[in-house]
Structure 1
Amino acid sequence: MPKKQRNDADFYPTPYWVLESLLDQWSPPLGPILEPAAGSGNLLRVLRRHYPDAELHAVELTSEHADILKLSSDHLWI
């Protein structure tokens, strides 16, 4: 059986339970937080829940998730 070809726009969101586990063991440094591959914004939403006053910045190469990212970050670059 042939292996599936990878698409340049493949999308693999990090599950919420992984992000919650990460933040149970790690605290981000003070100051702005940059999510360089924001995707659908899962990390941004978890960060906002844990750190409601944090300044969150997001970068995403595709515009597919732009609307949801605009709600999850303070600054968004696509």
Structure 2
Amino acid sequence: MKLKDFCLWAKTPGMQVNMSVLLMVISFSGFIYTYYASLYWPLTLSSPIMGTFLALGLFYLGYTLILSYFMIKNYYF
């Protein structure tokens, strides 16, 4: 698999770094949102929201790690 096949929107190393940072920020904000949702909202309302944002956060975190792995593998080795 080539990196350009993996991510069509990030074809240069600079765009890949920007996309990785953006996905990390989205993931981190999802975790922060679930923390505050569990503090201030009732458990019945915050549980589905927490589950959704935790799943999205883990997905984006994994996507960022895979994207970074292919970026480093293809351009530096």
TM-score, normalization by structure 2: 0.28
Specify which structure has the higher proportion of strand: 1
Specify which structure has the higher proportion of helix: 2
Larger Rg: 2
The higher-RCO structure (CA 8 Å, 6+ apart) is 2
TM-score, normalization by structure 1: 0.28
